[in-house]
Copies of this chain bind each other. A is one copy, B any other.
Amino acid sequence: MGHTVFHEGEGKDIDIANLSSSRRHAGNVQTAYKVGFPPQKSLASELGAKLRETFFADDPLRPYKGQPRAKQFLIGLQSIFPILEWARDYNLRKFRSDLISGLTIASLCIPQDIGYAKLANLEPQYGLYSSFVPPLVYAVLGSSRDIAIGPVAVVSLLLGHLLQKEYDYVKTREEYYRLAFTATFFAGITEAALGFFRLGFVIDFLSHAAIVGFMAGAAITIGLQQLKGFLGIQNFTKKTDIVSVMRSVWGAVHHGWNWQTILIGTAFLGFLMFAKYIGKKRRSLFWIPAIAPLISVILATFFVYITRADKHGVQIVKHIKKGANPSSVHLLYFSGSNLVKGVKIGVVSGMIALTEAVAIGRTFAAMKDYSLDGNKEMVALGAMNIVGSMTSCYITTGSFSRSAVNYMAGCETAVSNVVMSVVVLLTLELITPLFKYTPNAILASIIINAVAGLIDYKAVVHIWKIDKLDFIACLGAFFGVVFVSVEIGLLIAVGISFAKILLQVSRPTVVLLGNLYGTAIYRNIQQYPEANRVAGFVIVRIECSIYFANANYVKDRTLRWLRDEEEQLKENNLPKVGFLIVDMSSVTDIDTTGTHAFEELYNGLKKNDVQLLLANPGPLVMEKLHASKFTELVGLDKIFLTVDEAVTNCSVKVQEEA
């Protein structure tokens, strides 16, 4: 027993010592240490430190330190264009991996793109456009190796819903498209701006639980929307809530459903689900569910073509415009009320798109153990959407399902995205006419199958087990989306997330401490029922920074512990409490309202002849208690290094007086 210690002094000299011998007397004698004041800092350095910790918590300038200027320039360039970094040791082996994974995700994305474009009320080719340009931009600027870029279901649904509220996609087609590109542009601006100003942490404010609920709700809503194509209903509601959709569906049951459509849809949905099952059963067969959608599309299209099922009411895609993305720069709104609408829709959809992409990036970076600069990622995602908005793309982001396939197919770099992009281009240039006879039912089946994965019931069970409040947030977001609209669901998700933070902050815990017999340790008596309360003392521990939102509560709660204790003592005819010790170990910070509350606490206690003692205040707290002259009021000798010292010290005094 015994271990080495090295000194953190002025120099770097290492001081080896044996702790255990010197520590023999610890605990029962007063230590020689005083509660430390932090080193005095100037306002500038204090604010600087705060800003640095807030915006540059990841220390992005670390690699530049101590490097020659030329090297610094190179690192800077590489950090803007990560492609310069990984392209240098790119080789054929890596390319083979990327080629395979790129082809796999391309086969998955083509049918999905067409379906998702319909979710956003856009013509099918716009989905393909969006899988061509943005992945290329991302490959140059992005640093995730596994993310697969393109349109995703939830953002498509959200965008379609928000756009439709402003313009009808049939009656005011031109405005609808122009607003879609404008929103995409501002989604990109939002993402890039958040990254550039290092505000990426704002997306952390959407709680995981709320996202799980929102995603599951969105999946149900998207699935319900697919009933139109799946059942072959002609007149379908434009609302997304479950009540309207169900009314639409059952209202059409007698003369709206088309059995041929249902047959095709059901058969292929069964096929897709079986493929998925196989992929889950054996991970090496992951490529079966990945190419199943494309196979389904080919088979179904061929089937409709030879049977001419479209004559029997089976709805088909009919027409996909041939050729690569046209320019859409001239379509963006940069003035008037449409600009405001575009900004609004763009900010909301952009944030949601960002949330998804960042979650994906983080997940796979953790799995492959490389680090990802969230803020830089956001700039890349933003740039890709800005360029996209000028080339007829709508909002794109990372797709969870396709990224997972990309990862399992063994992608090495963003080149897999480039491969996918090239395949999509070839599709647009060459084979779009072949999609003419693709039945809508098969697209519906593919989407239903894809979004089913968004319902993360395991996460819901996990949340239920761990945190009931989180579970309520999750349910709230879910029901909001399903019963009202995506927008309301999102609002509920955000609202609950914030309410949770505010609740947590306004009601911090103040617990009663007791001594563990035979030690100098004081612990929460609820957690350690064996901990003994010390007669004559009430020892509480405030477990949060104290500031305006909770100062009054903390003060009142502390006094309530004292009152409870005094009542109990009275019942037992025991001497009254003489000391209130507040363990400040967990109080990181205190503001003016907090110091004021402490003054009130002190004055209130004084009237009742109870002495206030503080134990282990942190550096910031000491500084502020000093600045507000509270240390003078209560006396520096009433501030102790540990609870134990406070208890010991005052017990001595009481005995001396007696």
Name A's B-contacting residues (CB within 8 A). Answer: 1-9, 12, 14-15, 17, 19-20, 22-28, 31-33, 36-39, 43, 46-47, 50, 53-54, 57-59, 201, 204-209, 362, 366, 369, 459, 462-463, 465-470, 497, 500-509, 514-521, 523-536, 543-545, 547-553, 556-557, 560, 572, 574, 585-586, 588-589, 591-593, 595-596, 600, 603-604, 607, 616, 618-619, 622, 624, 627-628, 641-642, 647-648, 651-652, 654-655
Inter-chain contact B572/A14, CB cutoff 8 Å: yes
Given A518-B22, A592-B470, A619–B548 Cβ distance below 8 Å?
no
**18 intermolecular pairs with C-beta atoms under 8 Å apart:** A3-B535, A3-B651, A4-B534, A5-B532, A6-B535, A8-B514, A23-B28, A26-B519, A33-B516, A33-B530, A39-B526, A204-B551, A207-B591, A208-B591, A208-B596, A462-B592, A508-B588, A585-B586
| A14 shortest CB reach to chain B, Å | 7
- Whole-angstrom CA separation of A58 from B46 in the bound complex: 37
Contact of A205 among B46, B468, B549 (CB under 8 A): B549
Using known A-B contacts A556-B57, A591-B467, determine if residue A521 contacts B31 with beta carbons closer than 8 Å.
yes
A472 to chain B: closest residue by CB: B47
A574 partner residues in chain B, CB cutoff 8 A: 14
What's the Cα separation between A524 and B618 when bound, in Å? 8
A466-B628, A531-B8 known; A209 and B592 CB under 8 Å? Answer: yes
Q: Is B600's CB under 8 angstroms from A366's CB?
A: yes
Task: Report the bound CA distance from A486 to B205 in whole Å.
Answer: 29
Q: How far is the CA of A603 from the CA of B465 in the complex (A)?
A: 22
Chain B residues closer than 8 Å to A26, beta-carbon distance: 26-28, 518-521
Which chain B residue has the least Cβ–Cβ distance from A589? B504
The one of B463, B470, B548, B600 that contacts A206, using a Cβ cutoff of 8 Å? B548
Cα A209 to Cα B595 in complex, Å, equals 13
**In the complex, what distance in Å separates the CA atom of A624 from the CA atom of B205?**
21
The 8 closest A-B pairs by CB, nearest first: A586-B586, A3-B651, A26-B27, A207-B548, A527-B619, A36-B527, A27-B27, A208-B593
Q: Check if B526 sits within 8 Å of A207, measured CB to CB.
A: no
Residues of B within 8 A of A50 (CB): 469
Closest to A624 in B: B466
Query: Are B592 and A533 in touch, CB under 8 angstroms?
Result: no
A12/B572 in contact, CB under 8 A: yes
A22 to B517, CA, bound (A): 8
Q: Please give 4 more A-B residue pairs, beta carbons under 8 A apart, in addition to A208-B591, A508-B588, A585-B586.
A: A3-B651, A14-B574, A19-B534, A26-B518
Tell me, rounded to whole Å, the shortest Cβ–Cβ distance linking A41 to chain B.
Answer: 10
